[in-house]
């Protein structure tokens, strides 16, 4: 499901373009290469770190529908609050309420819901005075796989 979600991000221009374009979107998972995250951070570019926080291995709505439910947490980071907010609004407008599409190769998204959204600002621990802005979003995805 993670690979299919990333494929959807790459195919969605309004999100992809705010993450650096088609060549190398700044979309990472929790166990991402720290050097890539650090490079995006040092350049001051907005980037996203996604993590699937819940994806039970059994369909909780078993039966004919065989729908599964996953919770995806997405943290958006950057030194420009407008860029972080623009990325967050693109993600929210494209994913919240999305239904009946295929994400990537195999994940049939039945419905997506924004369940949590919040903002934060942090002072870096490297001694610099550059503030880092964070927008955290959580989505519940109802989906089916073949």
Rounded to whole angstroms, the Cα distance separating 42 from 63 reads: 49
Domains of the chain: 2-144 (3.30.2000.30)
Give the pLDDT of residue 119.
92
Give the pLDDT of residue 68.
83
What is the band of 106 on the pLDDT scale with cuts at 50, 70, 90? confident
Rounded to whole angstroms, the Cα distance separating 88 from 94 reads: 10
| Per-residue model confidence as pLDDT tens digits over 47-60 | 888 888 887 766 55
pTM over 0.85: no
Give the pLDDT of residue 9.
83
Least confident of 28-32, 73-77, 112-116, 120-124: 28-32
> Beta strand pairing status for 27-29 and 47-54?
parallel
> Sign of torsion, CA 144 76 73 114?
negative
What average pLDDT does the chain have?
83
Distance, C-alpha 15 to centroid of its chain = 10
Give the pLDDT of residue 140.
93
What is the band of 61 on the pLDDT scale with cuts at 50, 70, 90? low
């Amino acid at each position: 499901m993670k690979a299919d979600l990333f494929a959807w991000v790459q195919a969605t221009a309004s999100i992809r373009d705010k993450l650096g374009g088609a060549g190398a979107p700044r979309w990472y998972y929790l166990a991402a290469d720290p050097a890539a995250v650090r490079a995006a951070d040092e350049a001051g570019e907005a980037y996203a770190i996604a993590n699937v926080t819940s994806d039970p291995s059994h369909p909780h709505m078993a039966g004919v529908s065989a729908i599964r439910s996953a919770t995806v947490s997405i943290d958006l980071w950057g030194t420009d609050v407008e860029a972080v907010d623009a990325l967050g609004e693109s993600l929210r407008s494209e994913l919240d309420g999305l239904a009946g599409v295929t994400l990537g190769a195999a994940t049939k998204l039945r419905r997506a819901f924004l369940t949590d959204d919040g903002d934060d600002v942090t002072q870096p621990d490297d001694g610099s005075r550059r503030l880092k802005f964070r927008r955290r979003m959580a989505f519940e995805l109802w989906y089916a796989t073949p």
